[in-house]
Amino acid sequence: MIKTFADIFQVPELRKKVPFTLLILAAYRLGAVIPLPGINAEAMRALFETQKNTLLGFLNIFSGGALGRFSIFSMGVMPYINSSIIMSLLQGAHVFPYLDRLSKEGELGRKKILQITRYLTLVLGIIQSFGLVYSLARLPTPGGIPIVNDLSVGFYMVSVLTLMAGTILIMWMGELITEQGVGNGISLIIFTGIIIGLPKGIQDLFRLLRIEEISIFGALFLVAVVLAFTAFTVMVETGQRKISVQYAKRMVGRQVMGGTSTFLPIKVDTSGVIAVIFAVSILSVPVTLAQFFPQSGMSQKFMSFWNRGSWLYEVIYGSLIVFFCYFYNSIQFNPQDLAENMKKWGGFIPGIRPGEATAQYIQTILERITLWGALFIVMIAILPDILRQKLNAPFFFGGTALLIAVGVALDTIGQIESHLIMRHYEGFMKKGRIKGRWFNVR
C-alpha cells in the first residue's frame, strides 16, 4: 500500500493534481474557521452544544463545523446544490423549451446551463444568508448571552455579503478541483467537512465511556455496527447488475466485425451520494424559512416536529431519497436510446427481441435495481437516529455522513487508480482494480 501511494507521485498528471487538490481543500478548511466579525464565539459554541442532536447540528456537520463557528463559509455549498436541483427538475420536467435546447447542444449548452445555475446560486445565497444571519442572531442561547452585540443594518449588510462571497468562493474552489484536480470538487469539499469530524466523534465516544453514559459493551457493539455498515456500504456502492449483451457478426469492408459477448452494467446505487445531498438540501429549506421567525410560536412548534428522530422528518427524508434516486436514474439512463444503439450496432440481449422489447426489459431491471438501492440508502440515512436513541451514540457515526464519505472516497480512489493503471502501475489492490460487484437482481 505504501508503494502504491509512492507511485502516485511517479505519474506526471497525479504529481500536479493531488497536491493541487490538497491545497484547495486546505484553503477551504482555513476559511471554515474564520468567524464573521462581531460574533460572540462562546455564545455560538454554547448554542450548538445544545443543538448537536438536531437538524441544525446535522447541518453543522455537513458544513464541516463552519456553521457552528458562524464562519465566512457557514453557508457551504447549499445554495449551489439547491440551484442545481432546481435546474435539474426544470430540465427533467421539460418546463422551459430553452433549457431543453441547451441540454441538447453538447458542451456549449452545458456551459450555458452552468452559468444560469451560478446566477441562481447568487439569488438563493442572498436569501438564505439573510435568513441565517437574522435567525442565529436572535436564537436564545444558554445563559442568555447574545450571539451578536450590535444588530445594526451595517452588520446585516456585511454579514450577508461575506456569507455570499464565501459560497461563491467555495463553488469556485469546487470547480477548480473538478477541472484541475482529482475527483468531484463539490463532493470532496462536503467529504472534507464530514471527515474532519471523525476525531471529535471518537473523542465523544471516549467521553461517554468515561462518564459511564455508555457501557464498554455498548461501545464495542457500536464500533462493530459502524464497521459492518461501512463494509456493507462499500459492497452496495460498488454493486452492479450486469445485463448480458451479444453482438452478431457483420461484414465491414473485408473484415468480420462483432461476434463478441459483453455486458451492460447498471449500478445498484447509481445516484451515489447525489440523492442524499439533494434530500438534505431540500429539508434545509423549511428550516431557512422558519429562521426568519425564530420567536414565533408556530415556528418553534414546527421546528419541534421538523427534527431528526421525529416520524414526520424521517418519513419525508426517506421519501425524498427514493424520489431523487429514481429522478437521477431517469436523467442518466434512457432505455429507449440504449435499445436503439444496441440494435444499430447489431447487439441484442439473449432471449429478448431487439427494439421496444429490449427497452422495456432494461427499464424493468432499472426500476427494480433502483428500488433496492434507494431502500438501502434510506436504511443507512436513518441509522444515526437509531444509534443515538438506543445506544446514546455520538451523532457523527453512520448514516448520511458514512454514505457520503464512502461514496466520495470510492469515486476519488477510482479516478486515481485509473491514472495509475494507464501508466502501467498497479492499482490500490494487488488482486484487481476497485470495480463494481455483480448483483444478479431480476
CATH number for position 48: 1.10.3370.10
The share of the chain scoring above pLDDT 90, in percent, equals 2
Q: Does 230 lie in the same domain as 176?
A: no
Q: Does 224 lie in the same domain as 123?
A: no
Q: How many structural domains compose the chain?
A: 2
Q: Does 202 lie in the same domain as 144?
A: no
Q: Does 189 lie in the same domain as 98?
A: yes
Better pLDDT: 284 or 15: 15
What stretches of 51-77 show up as alpha helix (H) in DSSP? 55-62, 66-69
Mean pLDDT of the chain: 77
Q: Does 220 lie in the same domain as 170?
A: no
Better pLDDT: 44 or 387: 44
Cα gap 405→394, rounded to integer Å: 17
Residue 40's φ and ψ, nearest 5 degrees, are: -85, 105
Ranking 32-41, 283-292, 383-392, 422-431 by mean pLDDT, the lowest is 422-431
Q: Does 162 lie in the same domain as 84?
A: yes
pLDDT confidence band for 437 (50 / 70 / 90) = very low
Give residue 438's pLDDT. 39
Are 57 and 395 a contacting pair, CB within 8 Å? yes
Cα gap 381→229, rounded to integer Å: 11
Give residue 24's pLDDT. 92
Max CA distance (Å), the chain? 86
Q: Does 248 lie in the same domain as 153?
A: no
Q: The domain containing residue 160 runs over which residues?
A: 1-196
pLDDT confidence band for 374 (50 / 70 / 90) = confident
In this model, does residue 60 exceed pLDDT 50?
A: yes
For residues 261-278, give the mean pLDDT.
Answer: 78
Q: Does 379 lie in the same domain as 257?
A: yes
Q: Does 399 lie in the same domain as 430?
A: yes
Give tens-digit pLDDT for 181-208.
888 888 888 888 888 877 777 787 788 7
Grid cell, residue 105, equals 447542444
Give residue 259's pLDDT. 61
In this model, does residue 128 exceed pLDDT 50?
A: yes
Q: Does 204 lie in the same domain as 164?
A: no
Give tens-digit pLDDT for 289-344.
666 665 666 666 666 666 666 777 788 888 888 888 888 888 777 788 888 888 87
Give residue 436's pLDDT. 44
In this model, does residue 440 exceed pLDDT 50?
A: no
Ranking 83-92, 239-248, 416-425 by mean pLDDT, the lowest is 416-425
Grid cell, residue 343, equals 440494435
Q: Does 229 lie in the same domain as 172?
A: no
